[in-house]
Amino acid sequence: MKCLWLTRKYPRPSNSGELIYSNGLIRSFASTGVDLTVLAHDNDEVPVGDGSESSSHVDTDQVEWRLGSPELGSRFASLFTKYPSDSWRLKNGGPKKALVEALRTECWDAIVIDHAAIGWALGPIRNFRKERQGEKGPALVYVSHNHEAKIRREIARNSTDGFARKLALQYDAEKYARQEDELCREVDLVTAITGAEVEAYRENFPNQRYISLTPGYEGPIHRDRKITDEIPRRVVMSGSFEWIAKRINLEIFLEKAATPLAEAGIELQIVGKTEEQFRQEMIRKFPAVDFVGRVPEMEPYLLNARMGLIVEEFGGGFKLKTLEYIFHGLPLAGLFHAVEGLPLTSPEAILLTPDTDSLIQSVSEVIDDFDRLNHMRRHSIDVCEASFRWEDRGRKLFEEISELRSVALAG
């Protein structure tokens, strides 16, 4: 099978949820033996190309990467186009030209559109199909990371920015929704990150073909870690806080939780990639919170806390940091609606509550119960170890695409 995969950027280093997900899927899909070519922007932090709009790289999995420039286009310019801001920025700087050339000169069995922001690719693909009327074209797959229509509208609704910025977010959200609808309408297969998101898509597109591809995990497993009184009375939140949705969710939580946790003698530590200006703003606003920011390795922070928090009030989807928590032997606590796709039950393996106030109360009650905490961490690893393997996700995607091709050829 010869497959063309379009994604946002070269996903290494994988230091955000979307990059971890894309990297895991691409690598596991490549391991099935497909002939895989990926179009993307180069990584702006650690470029592997020459910095131009047309460079190439072959990785250790024998995947061919055709890379655009690390720099992206202007968000402001997108206001005057039909594209969401992310999509406008990603189509320029090389990827669109590379896609047109790949469609014109090569034959593909499948094309994967990885993330709604790559919906710009539908234009060149439509033109290609018009030129090749009557031919069996490649199978089209949309790999979704979130239900974008839902989450983008929630971002606009929950934003505390001024009127002009909020209006721009609302406008962008509707463009994202239209683009996502086009993807769901025109592709042959939609993948979603949880079963709940499959059902959300199915409401509007009941005849589409869907599969759920929850993330995998390939890092270390700290099965024998022990939680004792030598570990600080600390709870940790990890992740990337560059995306506006993450920042809004974090501020909502800190407004409610920073003071009560401090009064209970529980340290709250925030660890992960973010803009320094935002980090300093949070430090000024919530002085009781230890906002560490970006670190070279997350592991020391995960191993030096008693619980990991999952507290997003909106957004849905699968939070990849939950797997890092679990496999580092860190018991989870969170809000019911913030945790999707985990095969864990509360309160046996995970501590879930309906709101932040009750979550703080529950965490305060178990933070010194080492028998309970250690039971939760052991049970979570036992349940999840066989459930989150990247190789299973790549194989499942390969089998679905192969079946699509078989049906098309038989027809």
The tens digit of pLDDT for each residue in 29-60 reads 999 999 999 999 999 999 999 999 999 999 99
Same domain, 90 and 117: yes
Q: Report the pLDDT value the prediction gives residue 134, as an integer from 0 to 100.
A: 63
Count of CB atoms situated within 10 Å of the CB of 279: 17
Indicate the SS3 state at residue 121.
helix
Cα separations in angstroms, 275 against 14, 164, 242, 254, 281: 17, 22, 6, 17, 10
Residue 34 maps to a domain? yes
- Tell how far CA 210 is from the center of its chain: 18
Contact 144, 211 (CB under 8 A): no
Angstrom distance (rounded) from CA 314 to CA 44 = 29
Contact 377, 201 (CB under 8 A): no
pTM over 0.75: yes
Residue 196 maps to a domain? yes
Q: Report the pLDDT value the prediction gives residue 411, as an integer from 0 to 100.
A: 57
Q: Pairing state of beta strands 35-41 and 55-58?
A: unpaired
Helices 356-366 and 244-263, packing angle to 10 deg:
50
Same domain, 322 and 265: yes
Same domain, 239 and 367: yes
CATH number at residue 6: 3.40.50.2000
Weakly modelled stretches of the chain, pLDDT under 50: none
Q: Report the pLDDT value the prediction gives residue 75, as an integer from 0 to 100.
A: 85
Same domain, 393 and 380: no
Q: How many domains are contained in the chain?
A: 2
Angstrom distance (rounded) from CA 28 to CA 26 = 6
Q: Report the pLDDT value the prediction gives residue 338, as an integer from 0 to 100.
A: 79
Q: Report the pLDDT value the prediction gives residue 23, as an integer from 0 to 100.
A: 97
Contact 139, 408 (CB under 8 A): yes
Same domain, 114 and 146: yes
Q: Report the pLDDT value the prediction gives residue 353, as an integer from 0 to 100.
A: 94
Q: Report the pLDDT value the prediction gives residue 6, as an integer from 0 to 100.
A: 98
Angstrom distance (rounded) from CA 109 to CA 285 = 53
Q: Report the pLDDT value the prediction gives residue 49, as an integer from 0 to 100.
A: 95
